[in-house]
Chain A
Amino acid sequence: MIEITEVPSPFCGIGTDDLSIQVEGLSLKVSANGCAVNTPAFEQAMTDLQPRINGEEVSLSEAVNHAAELLKNANQPVIGGCATDVNGMRALLELADKNGAVVDNVNFVGARRNFLAMQDSGWMNTTLAELKNRCDVLLIVGTDLESFAPRFFERYLWNQESMFLEDTSARQIIYLGKAPSGAASTSPNGKKAQVLPCSNEDLPQVVAVLRALIKGKIIAATEVGGIAIADLQAIANTLKAAQYGVITWAAGALVYSQAELTVQTICEMVKDINDNGTRCSGFPLGGKEGDQTANQVCGWTTGYPARMRFSSGMPEYDPHLYDSNLMLANGEADVLVWVQAFNAAIVPPKTDKPTIVLGRSGMTFEKEPEVFIPIATPGIDHAGHAYRLDNVVAIRLKKLRDSTLPSTAEVLSAMTQAL
């Protein structure tokens, strides 16, 4: 048994890199700094070692050739999931370019709420170290932060020391919309977060009123979505008086129609505060299932985030049209490639179209795909790179064990060769 320390995680999105992991052959045990997201993700047993065609075990080259044959004969292939490391995405985009495929990251429906706002009016954002050292007021909108990232408070808010705050436990935490599921947001000295709950349905209105108050508009109503205007006015005043306020949200949690408008209101509110003489930053939460990695690599390779297509030989972007689930459901796509190197529980959408799965070992299916290739997990079976939620920092993933599974990049490159 060996123990590897300072292990970075590609699973939690917040770039924790202080895990200790004991390795015994193929089995891993998190011995320090695990959490509800990372521990099971690292410890998951490796069960599948052999590719399958229609449930029959085959060699890797047989599986690759069969997949390439399906792609060659497809009119409109789609590559979904897109949950892998940087090199995996590089190979994925090369295959898509050559094959005229649609590329669609599994989290794009959520991320789209951010992209639509960002591409329409922009934003002012910050990153984890700034938050850790500067943030004195954190407003959390519509999101249960601790279930999103169990160690967020411990690592980035209740850190003992910070460069610019005398007492990190004095940070003010405010929830707007969703209430926290646990007590992680309670400061080490016992101070509880302020919680102003409302339904998702009311959130657009509540956020719009908050922005209006920040801009100094007079609101005639006394409450909105069950929240007193006076309470929102207090939040507005707090943000305007903060040293370095941060407003955070998880686009994936804002599950309602046209939630991008709420994101836009938040982002414009941040700009308003800065324009009025106080620093404030947005902080979108994401980074799971390789979403930031997919969007970054697709961004530099094509100019667009990871919902685009190469069908006419050149990159085309449409955040609505190239939804792989809709394309499969509408009969617009005729072959699905599903790439999910991180999470065995995230399986391809149900479809009667031929499906090729490059999945994490241990993935189980309601309906066996035509081709299944178990692939290595970046950060466990091979080194690689993955992006953290703040989109600036790419972490260097480590290889922890020797497995025989091929990487995403190796399998996809072999498929490109076989085309």
Chain B
Amino acid sequence: MLIKLTGGIIYDPANGIAGKQQDIYIQDGKIVNPPSDAVVTQEYDIRGKIVMAGAIDLHSHIGGGKGNIARILMPENHRLDAVAHTDITRAGTGHAMPSTFTTGYRYAEMGYTAAFEPAVLPINARQAHMEMGDTPIIDKGGYVLMGSDDYLLRMMVAKKDQKAINDYMAWTLQAAQGIGIKVVNAGGINAFKFNQRRLDLDEKNPHYPVTPRQILKTLATAVQELGISHPLHVHGSNLGIPGNDETTLNTIEGIEGLPMHLTHIQFHSYGTEGDFKFSSGAARIAEAINKNKNITVDVGQIMFGQTITASGDNMRQFANHKLANPNKWVCMDIECDAGCGLVPFKYRDQNFVNALQWAIGLETFLLVEDPWRIFLTTDHPNGAPFTTYPHLIRLLMDRSFRNDMLATIHPEAQKMTTLGSITREYTMEEIAILTRAGAARLTGLVGRGSLGVGDFADITVYSENSDREAMFSTPDYVFKDGNLVVKDGKVVKVTWGTTHVVRPNYDASVEKDLKDYFDRYMTMKVGNFKISDDEITEDGRGSLTVHPLKGAAI
């Protein structure tokens, strides 16, 4: 089977192509050179249409226990968005936290072909993989959450050397089948179990004399030394607290040049100016990002409407529970490993704080100069469901639309943002970097997010439309591994994506101390904790793709 896409306008930043008309050939799931003799079995005439690689969401809560608590907590939210089955697709529900099948279909229908769960608790990793295993079409992967686990903190207090910590982290990463390491409110989830209600960057955990700054440095060092492509994925301290822009700046400085990804930076860019003691720190933060090339960010844009916040940061979720709308919420302490918190939110454009949060996210997008170091997220579902991405893209690409929206939000918030004076509009190429090439590069995916010969044929084709929201909502065609899975914005074929992982080396003797720890303090045997490959592949649909370490030969 040889497929030809004829005459599309290609945006492939990974290969330096921006708006060039070029044919693409697909064979056996991959992009191939124009064959000299083979007969084209299927041709798609896409002359004048925009072609990009399939989009990649590097931070979206699609799989794991907290997401399932979020689903079960909000039946009234699903009732508004029930999805019937078709001949080829399964029934399900949206809206804020959709069911797994619906998640896969909706991502594909927007032209996305991969999404990464950013908070896989090692002890809950089986569930994360089982949920992602029931998420069709798209590829997936997870960042393994560390930094509030008692084992690591005990190692730090015992002054174990970096090598020992690296071994433990690599072992955990493999046991939980992840592609990166995440830290959430470093040490804070742990401190909350000792009844600490807030933990600043240089404050010691009440039980373990270590600070978040030390934890971040230790983890980021390990990620670099282990050769994990994705930098340490950091959900910072003091989420949502006015004045946390200082914390964020200190966090950037404290990492001392090591690669670090600051996630949902919008929630960490708040100042304390103005009548309401709440202001935008976006300009200061963007300046720091522009200056520090080791830093990457995703935004965690909020959108107005009902959603639910789902986070590992139960310290901050507990602190925000009085904002729950509707008024119900869940917090959990989890297995001397981490925790989670679920707080429904209704972001309102006539609420000063929410309106300014919206503006802060957009300011950040527009003030960070290098599109390779910023990524398009809503921290699904925390800022908004991922289905709002096309609207967000329009806000970025269309200044007059953006200013029309700005004119409708809380008037005091309008006065507190510079958004109206920012003239930048994202180009098509930049959108392709944020949502494809950059995301693939930052997660270390080989052969994804780009359209070169030999790359996997994950391809999205859009009709040019000046209404960018409409354009990015309904691609004409989406190909996943060479299969046409979406036509005119609707799923036409259901396939199953792979699970991306990395496997840095570790000294096998690390398991000796872990066995002892599990036997004494945990509730399962260490052998039963590790997730075997067949747990992901035995259903006949799932597969694992192991990516090379940084600097390793491909």
Chain A positions within 8 Å of B, measured between CB atoms, are 6, 8, 15, 17-18, 86-87, 90, 94, 97-98, 115, 118-130, 132-134, 155-156, 161-164, 243-244, 271, 274, 277-279, 281, 295-297, 299-305, 310, 312-317, 383, 385, 391-396
Q: CA of A386 to CA of B115 in the docked complex: distance in angstroms?
A: 26
Contacts of A133 in B (CB 8 A): 150, 336, 521
Contacts of B527 in A (CB 8 A): 6
A395 touches B528 (CB 8 A): yes
B302 to chain A, nearest CB (A): 22
A315 touches B521 (CB 8 A): no
Q: Does B332 contact A (CB under 8 A)?
A: yes
A315 touches B78 (CB 8 A): yes
Contacts of A295 in B (CB 8 A): 72
Q: CA of A151 to CA of B260 in the docked complex: distance in angstroms?
A: 45
Among B79, B91, B100, B335, contact of A130 (Cβ-Cβ < 8 Å): B335
Render B522-538 as a binary contact track against A, CB cut-off 8 A, 1 for contact.
11110110011001001
Q: Does B93 contact A (CB under 8 A)?
A: yes
Q: Does B195 contact A (CB under 8 A)?
A: yes
B130 touches A122 (CB 8 A): no
Contacts of B324 in A (CB 8 A): 122
The residue of chain A having its C-beta at the shortest distance from the C-beta of B97 within the complex is A303
B525 touches A18 (CB 8 A): yes
Contacts of A130 in B (CB 8 A): 193, 333-336
Among A17, A296, A317, contact of B524 (Cβ-Cβ < 8 Å): A17
Among B73, B126, B194, B531, contact of A118 (Cβ-Cβ < 8 Å): B73
B195 touches A279 (CB 8 A): yes
Contacts of A124 in B (CB 8 A): 318, 330-332
Contacts of A304 in B (CB 8 A): 71-72, 75, 78, 93
Interface size on B, residues (CB 8 A): 66
B453 to chain A, nearest CB (A): 38
Contacts of B329 in A (CB 8 A): 122
B78 touches A392 (CB 8 A): no
Render B94-105 as a binary contact track against A, CB cut-off 8 A, 1 for contact.
000111110000
B85 touches A313 (CB 8 A): yes
19 contacts between A and B (CB under 8 A): A18-B525, A118-B330, A122-B324, A124-B331, A125-B331, A129-B336, A156-B523, A161-B521, A279-B194, A281-B333, A301-B99, A301-B101, A303-B78, A314-B83, A392-B123, A393-B524, A394-B126, A394-B130, A396-B528
B205 to chain A, nearest CB (A): 12
Among B97, B523, B538, contact of A393 (Cβ-Cβ < 8 Å): B523
The residue of chain B having its C-beta at the shortest distance from the C-beta of A130 within the complex is B333
The residue of chain A having its C-beta at the shortest distance from the C-beta of B103 within the complex is A300
| A301 and B134 contact, Cβ closer than 8 Å, known pairs A123-B330, A130-B193, A315-B91 | yes
B75 touches A317 (CB 8 A): yes
Among B121, B127, B332, contact of A126 (Cβ-Cβ < 8 Å): B332
Contacts of A305 in B (CB 8 A): 72
Q: Identify which of residues 61-118 in chain B touch chain A, using a CB-to-CB cut-off of 8 Å.
A: 65, 67-68, 71-75, 78-79, 82-85, 90-93, 97-101
| A314 and B82 contact, Cβ closer than 8 Å, known pairs A124-B331, A300-B71 | yes
A393 touches B123 (CB 8 A): yes
Contacts of B67 in A (CB 8 A): 300
Residue in A130, A281, A302 with the greatest tally of chain B CB atoms within 10 Å: A302
Q: Does B200 contact A (CB under 8 A)?
A: no
Q: CA of A119 to CA of B327 in the docked complex: distance in angstroms?
A: 10
A317 touches B91 (CB 8 A): no
Q: CA of A93 to CA of B74 in the docked complex: distance in angstroms?
A: 20
B362 to chain A, nearest CB (A): 31
Q: CA of A305 to CA of B527 in the docked complex: distance in angstroms?
A: 30
Q: Does B483 contact A (CB under 8 A)?
A: no
| A121 and B327 contact, Cβ closer than 8 Å, known pairs A15-B524, A301-B100 | yes
Besides the contacts A129-B523, A163-B336, what 5 more A-B pairs have beta carbons closer than 8 Å? Answer: A18-B525, A314-B84, A392-B332, A392-B334, A396-B535
Contacts of B328 in A (CB 8 A): 118-122
A162 touches B85 (CB 8 A): no
Q: Does B207 contact A (CB under 8 A)?
A: yes
Residue in B75, B123, B523, B535 with the greatest tally of chain A CB atoms within 10 Å: B523
The residue of chain A having its C-beta at the shortest distance from the C-beta of B538 within the complex is A383
- If over half of A's interface residues share one DSSP class (helix, strand or loop), that class is named, otherwise mixed; here it is mixed
Q: CA of A363 to CA of B181 in the docked complex: distance in angstroms?
A: 48
Q: Does B131 contact A (CB under 8 A)?
A: yes
| A155 and B523 contact, Cβ closer than 8 Å, known pairs A303-B93, A304-B75, A396-B535 | yes
A303 touches B523 (CB 8 A): no
Q: CA of A383 to CA of B539 in the docked complex: distance in angstroms?
A: 12
Q: CA of A239 to CA of B327 in the docked complex: distance in angstroms?
A: 25
B528 touches A303 (CB 8 A): no
Among A162, A296, A303, contact of B521 (Cβ-Cβ < 8 Å): A162
The residue of chain A having its C-beta at the shortest distance from the C-beta of B329 within the complex is A122
A115 touches B72 (CB 8 A): yes
Q: Does B247 contact A (CB under 8 A)?
A: no
Contacts of A394 in B (CB 8 A): 124, 126-127, 130
A392 touches B335 (CB 8 A): yes
B134 touches A300 (CB 8 A): yes
Contacts of B335 in A (CB 8 A): 127-130, 392-393
Contacts of A125 in B (CB 8 A): 330-333
Q: Does B520 contact A (CB under 8 A)?
A: yes
Contacts of B99 in A (CB 8 A): 300-303, 315
Q: CA of A163 to CA of B127 in the docked complex: distance in angstroms?
A: 26
Residue in A15, A86, A243 with the greatest tally of chain B CB atoms within 10 Å: A86
| A98 and B72 contact, Cβ closer than 8 Å, known pairs A301-B92, A385-B126 | no
The residue of chain A having its C-beta at the shortest distance from the C-beta of B94 within the complex is A303
User: When A and B form their complex, which 7 residue pairs have the shortest distance between CB atoms, in order from nearest?
Assistant: A303-B93, A314-B82, A313-B84, A122-B328, A303-B78, A129-B335, A394-B126
B528 touches A164 (CB 8 A): no
The residue of chain B having its C-beta at the shortest distance from the C-beta of A310 within the complex is B91
Render B444-474 as a binary contact track against A, CB cut-off 8 A, 1 for contact.
0000000000000000000000000000000
| A6 and B525 contact, Cβ closer than 8 Å, known pairs A296-B127, A314-B91 | yes
Q: CA of A129 to CA of B93 in the docked complex: distance in angstroms?
A: 33
B476 to chain A, nearest CB (A): 27
| A303 and B318 contact, Cβ closer than 8 Å, known pairs A313-B85, A314-B84 | no
The residue of chain B having its C-beta at the shortest distance from the C-beta of A8 within the complex is B528
A317 touches B78 (CB 8 A): yes
A339 to chain B, nearest CB (A): 19
B100 touches A300 (CB 8 A): yes
B82 touches A315 (CB 8 A): yes
Contacts of B127 in A (CB 8 A): 296, 392, 394
Contacts of A119 in B (CB 8 A): 72-75, 328
B525 touches A118 (CB 8 A): no
Q: CA of A395 to CA of B523 in the docked complex: distance in angstroms?
A: 11
A385 touches B523 (CB 8 A): no
Contacts of B318 in A (CB 8 A): 124, 274
A303 to chain B, nearest CB (A): 4
Contacts of A299 in B (CB 8 A): 68, 71-72
Contacts of A155 in B (CB 8 A): 523
B528 touches A300 (CB 8 A): no
Render B425-447 as a binary contact track against A, CB cut-off 8 A, 1 for contact.
00000000000000000000000
Q: CA of A271 to CA of B345 in the docked complex: distance in angstroms?
A: 19
Q: CA of A278 to CA of B150 in the docked complex: distance in angstroms?
A: 21
A128 touches B65 (CB 8 A): no
Residue in A125, A274, A301 with the greatest tally of chain B CB atoms within 10 Å: A301
B92 touches A303 (CB 8 A): yes
Q: CA of A408 to CA of B207 in the docked complex: distance in angstroms?
A: 47
